Amino acid sequence: MIIVMKAGATKRERDEVVKKIKEFGYKPHIIHGTTRDVIGAVGDERGKVILQSIEFMQGVESVVPILKPYKLASREVKKETSIIKISDNVSIGDKDIIVIAGPCAVESEEQIMEAAAAVKEAGAKVLRGGAFKPRTSPYSFQGMKEEGLKLLAKAREATGLPIITEVVNPETAELVAEYADILQIGTRNAQNFELLKKLGQLKKPVLLKRGMSMTIQELLMSAEYILSEGNQSVILCERGIRTFETATRNTLDLSAIPVLKQKTHLPVVVDPSHATGNYLYVAPMAFAAIAAGADGLIVEVHPDPEHASSDGPQSLKPNKFNTMMEKLRLFSEVSGRCL
C-alpha cells in the first residue's frame, strides 16, 4: 500500500501516518519526492480494510493499494489454467470449446426434450434451462421450480448431456444441486454473497455470471467467495455490462476474456444471447468470443421462440443454432481449439 501525502503536509502529519502504519503491523518506508512525500506500507494488505482509515488522516492525499484483493482466483497463486470437470467426458478450460445451449426457461416436457435433442444434435455439450427464474417483474413467469428440475433430469437421461440451471436462493441451493451438474449464479445475484458462500460449500461446479455493473476485479472477488469456502470448480461467464448504449441489451465486454486470461486461472465462457438481447447478433458475437480466447459459450436455443415464456427475441431456433455451430467449428480450429 502506498500513501501519497499532500504537497504541503507537515512533518508532524507524516509522522502520525508512519506511527499508524506501524500500529497496524506494517513497515513504513518513506520516499521524499520533489513536491510531496510518498510512504510505502510493506505487508499483506488484503482484507485489511482498516488500512483505508489512513486515507482521511491529516495531510494524506490518497492511499493506493498495491496487491490485488483476491488470492485463490489469481494466476499468481496458480499458474496453470483450471480444468473444471463436469462429467466423464465434458470438461471446461481444456482444449475443447464447450457450448452450453438450451432454452432460457424450462416450460414443458415437450419443449425441453425437443430443445435437448436439437442442441445435442448440433454439437452442444451441456444443456441449459432455467427452473427458478429471477425476473425483473413480479408479474412475469417465475419458472417451473422443482418440476422444471425433474424435466431437466429427464432430458439429461434421454440425451446424456449434463445440465446447468440457475440457483436463486440459498434455501433451495441443495435441492437444485441434487439435480444439476453445474449451478449457475445469475448476473443479479453475482454479489449476493450469501448465495456465493452457500455454493462454495456444495461440491458442484459453479458458473458465475458477471454482474452487469461489476468490474473484472469484483467478478474475481465474487469467485473468491466460492473458492475460499472450498469449492474450486468455478467457471466465469462474461454476459455483457450495462452502458449507455441501447442498441443492444447490454454491451458484451469481450476484452474481459484476455484480461481474465492474464489475471486468473479460472476458465471463461461467454453468453452472447443475454448480452445482445437479439438473436441476430448472437452468432457474430459467438464467433468473436472464441476468436478472443473464450473457453466456451452459453447460448439460448428454443424450438419455438415466438412462444417462449421469456427471452424469445434473443433465442436461436435449432436450425440457426446448427448453422452457427458449423461455422463455430472453423473458428475453434483457427483458434487452436476443438469443438
Residue 330 makes contact with a second copy by CB under 8 A: yes
- Give the separation between CA 82 and CA 84, rounded to whole angstroms: 6
292 is an interface residue for a second copy by CB under 8 A: yes
Choose which of 289, 297, 299, 339 interacts with a second copy (CB under 8 A): 289
Q: Interface with a second copy includes 134 (CB under 8 A)?
A: yes
Q: Which is nearer to a second copy, 159 or 222 (CB)?
A: 222
Q: Quickly list DSSP for 152-197.
A: HHHHHHHH---EEEE---HHHHHHHHHH-SEEEE-GGGTT-HHHHH
The full length of the chain comes to 339
Cell digits of residue 171: 434455501
Toward a second copy, which CB reaches closer, 16 or 154?
16
Does 138 bind a second copy (CB under 8 A)? Our answer is yes
Toward a second copy, which CB reaches closer, 165 or 189? 189
Give the interface segment with a second copy, choosing from 88-96, 118-126, 145-153, 209-217 (CB under 8 A). 209-217
Kindly state the smallest distance separating residue 148's Cβ from a second copy, in Å. 16
* Window 48-107: residues binding a second copy (CB under 8 A): 49-50, 52-53, 55-57, 64, 66-67, 69-70, 76
One-letter identity of residue 246: T
Instruction: Pick from 164, 168, 268, 301 the residue near a second copy by CB under 8 A.
Output: 168
- Is there a contact between 83 and 273 (Cβ–Cβ < 8 Å)? no
Distance CA 109, CA 106 (A): 8
27 or 85, CB closer to a second copy? 27
Which CB sits closer to a second copy, 159 or 314? 314
Among 95, 109, 307, 319, binds a second copy (CB under 8 A): 307
> Based on CB atoms, which residue is closest to a second copy, 161 or 321?
321
112 is a contact residue toward a second copy (CB under 8 A): no
Least gap, CB of 172 to a second copy (angstroms): 8
H or E stretch including 198? helix 193-201
Write down the least CB distance from residue 62 to a second copy, Å. Answer: 9
Least distance CB 160 / a second copy (angstroms): 30
Strand 37-42 relative to strand 27-32, pairing: antiparallel
Burial 95-125 (b: 16+ CB within 10 A, else e): ebbbbbbbbbbbbeeebbbbbbbbbbebbbb
Q: Which three cell numbers stand for residue 156?
A: 439429461
Site for a second copy in 213-272 (CB under 8 A): 213, 215-218, 221, 224-225, 228-229, 241-248, 251-259, 262
Residue 176 binds a second copy (CB under 8 A)? no
Query: Within 13 Å of residue 296, how many CA atoms lie on the same side as its CB?
Result: 27
Give the closest residue to 126 by CA, choosing from 151, 153, 150, 156: 156
Instruction: Determine the 3-state secondary structure of 330 from DSSP.
Output: helix
List the one residue from 160, 293, 320, 322 that touches a second copy (CB under 8 A): 293
**The binder of a second copy chosen from 15, 147, 171, 326 (CB under 8 A):** 171
Q: Is 203 in the site for a second copy (CB under 8 A)?
A: no
φ, ψ dihedrals at 134, nearest 5°: -80, 115
Binding status of residue 287 toward a second copy by CB under 8 A = yes
User: Is 194 an interacting residue with respect to a second copy (CB under 8 A)?
Assistant: yes
What is the distance between the alpha carbons of residues 320 and 301, in angstroms, rounded to a whole number? 9
5-44 positions binding a second copy, by CB under 8 A: 6-8, 20, 29, 31-36, 38, 40, 42-44
CA 130 – CA 194 distance, rounded (Å): 20
Which has the closest alpha carbon to 226: 197, 269, 186? 197
